[in-house]
Amino acid sequence: MTDLHDRSEHVLNQLIADDGSGWYTSRGWLFNHTIFGRDVAMISLWTMGVNQQYRDAARGTIHTLSKFQGLRRGRLNEEEPGRILNEYKSYQKWHADSLPKAANRFVGLLWGGSWMSELGYVGLDSTPLYIQLVAAYATTDRSVLDERVSRRDGNTVLVRQCLLEALNWIMTHRGHHGLIASRRRNPVSLFFQSWRDSHLAYLYPDGHLASLSRPVIYLEVQLNCIDALRAAANLLGHDLPQQAVAWEAAAAELSRAVLADFWLPDDQMFAMALDPTASGHVIAMPTPASSQGWMLDSTIFDDLPEAERRRYLEAIVRRFGSSEFMTAVGLRARGNGSDAGLGLADYHGSWTAWPVDSYMYARGLRRQGLPQLAANLEARVLEAVAKGGSFYEFFLVSPAGEVLWQPHKGSVIPPKRQVNLQILPERDLGWTTAACYLLTHKHFVEADRRATGMWRLQLENEVLTHFKHQPSHHQDSAHPFGVRRYRGAIRVAEIAVAAVIREYIFKK
């Protein structure tokens, strides 16, 4: 994997901004020179221990996210005091043809941006990830807290103040059982406010979507907030003891609520979200999704009795080890066959396997003492990227497990069947690149070791044995199926428009 390591390092270095502002999200056609708060915070958290160059990039990211922190309430761009940006894109830096640039500018205006840049705050996960980043950096260098940042209103503040404002944002967004949510105010902005932000990301088995006008409670957001509150309490407990106690208490309440409200005992899984109804109740969405894999790398299980932790881990690991989720290139974003018969490959659907999803799950497997399963999954990701030839945003996998390795290229032999595709995957995505770099970096690849405890060892053996008996993924075929690049997007747009009309006009 030496070649893959060198390639990932080369691309990763090119994702560092020349002006010292930190990381960019991608080098691809859609998100180049773009800052997504969640992406750059996560890349910083993963890589800042590698070398001084990446640590400096993390520091630049902290300054950039602090600079654009929300100051007021905005309806179109979803800005709120203390909230960290979801996306920032300067059209002067963005490399794109005139037509896509004009289209992006138009959409950006609908989302509260200007003709020169797009700045939106619709994501809920950027703020807790920013807190985790500042806390992690300051743990070894507290001087970052006293560095000054010039904000958009012309005022200069300390990073410490930005951190406290971000924490206040979390504390003021606690609602049902202490869970974190925020209502979308712009009906034409991104439908959902987690990393699964596509139009069909939160889809019920019968084909209808989670609420667009009420505050959906996303599983990953709760996990990020739990970890953020605990990290802040550990960092600032001596300076702000009363606030630290409140943050710890909020994290504990949030953990209890997630374990109680998201767990679906009949399905033996955690829901991907809680969907509020017009009557004020919440529904745990029963669609099987990869979201619960992120739980393993959070602190939510850390203080549980061993028996309770075992119950949850066994349920997640067995399900993800089955053909419902596991493919030759990693985890499906949704369970196989859970696309409600829509007949398309949507951005976060069962046809897509995101390397970041698999990487987060593999990190969690190692954290939970299941290193052989982690190594198996990591190998799948690395082999997929090596064969695909690019650090793709996601891979396309048919229900039978066939992989379309290079979806941007047409097939020499006409495919026998085609799938309607919502959008082609971004190439050279920062998440994927950073994951591959770390998985091939000699200082960060953990030596394989045996699982800790008999039940963990038995669980690993059970799932690894199941892998050996899974049906072939037909890897010899370079082009097992083809894609229709526009029909899927048109179909998604039709569903999205119908959902907006139904919920905002007919109030259904």
The winner for highest mean pLDDT among 281-285, 474-478, 485-489 is: 281-285
Give backbone dihedrals phi and psi of 225, rounded to 5 degrees, phi first. Answer: -70, -40
Say how many domains are in the chain.
Answer: 1
Confirm whether 314 is domain-assigned.
yes
Which domain range does residue 397 map to?
A: 2-86+121-505
Give backbone dihedrals phi and psi of 370, rounded to 5 degrees, phi first. Answer: -125, 65
Q: What confidence tens digit (pLDDT) does each residue in 280-335 have? A: 899 999 999 999 999 999 999 999 999 999 999 999 999 999 999 999 999 999 99
Q: What confidence tens digit (pLDDT) does each residue in 362-403 have? A: 999 999 999 999 999 999 999 999 999 999 999 999 998 999
**Distance (Å, rounded) from C-alpha 408 to C-alpha 130?**
34
List the CATH number of the domain containing 222: 1.50.10.10
Residue pair 256/222 in contact (Cβ under 8 Å)? The answer is no
How many residues in the chain? 508
From 242-246, 477-481, 492-496, the region with the lowest mean pLDDT: 477-481
Residue 405, Cβ density class (10 Å: 0-12 exposed, 13-18 middle, ≥19 buried): buried
Give start and end residues of each alpha helix (H) in 172-280. 219-236, 241-261
pLDDT at 445: 60
Q: What confidence tens digit (pLDDT) does each residue in 216-265 have? A: 999 999 999 999 999 999 999 999 999 999 999 999 999 999 999 999 99
Q: pTM for the full model?
A: 0.96
Type of residue at 254: L
Residue 431, Cβ density class (10 Å: 0-12 exposed, 13-18 middle, ≥19 buried): buried
pLDDT at 472: 57
**Distance (Å, rounded) from C-alpha 402 to C-alpha 487?**
21
Q: In the structure encoding, which two tokens stand for residue 406, read together?
A: 């290079």
How far from the centroid of its chain's Cα atoms is residue 66's Cα? Answer: 21
pLDDT confidence tier of residue 154, bands split at 50, 70 and 90: very high
Which is nearest to 208 in space by CA: 321, 299, 286? 286
Which is nearest to 220 in space by CA: 306, 323, 348? 348
**H or E, element range at 372:** helix 371-388
pLDDT at 428: 96
Q: What confidence tens digit (pLDDT) does each residue in 160-184 have? A: 999 999 999 999 999 988 999 999 9
**Distance (Å, rounded) from C-alpha 112 to C-alpha 335?**
35
Confirm whether 40 is domain-assigned.
yes
Q: What does the H/E/C string look like for 124-145?
A: CCHHHHHHHHHHHHHHHCHHHH
Helix (H, G, I), strand (E, B) or coil at 89: strand
Rg (CA), the chain: 22
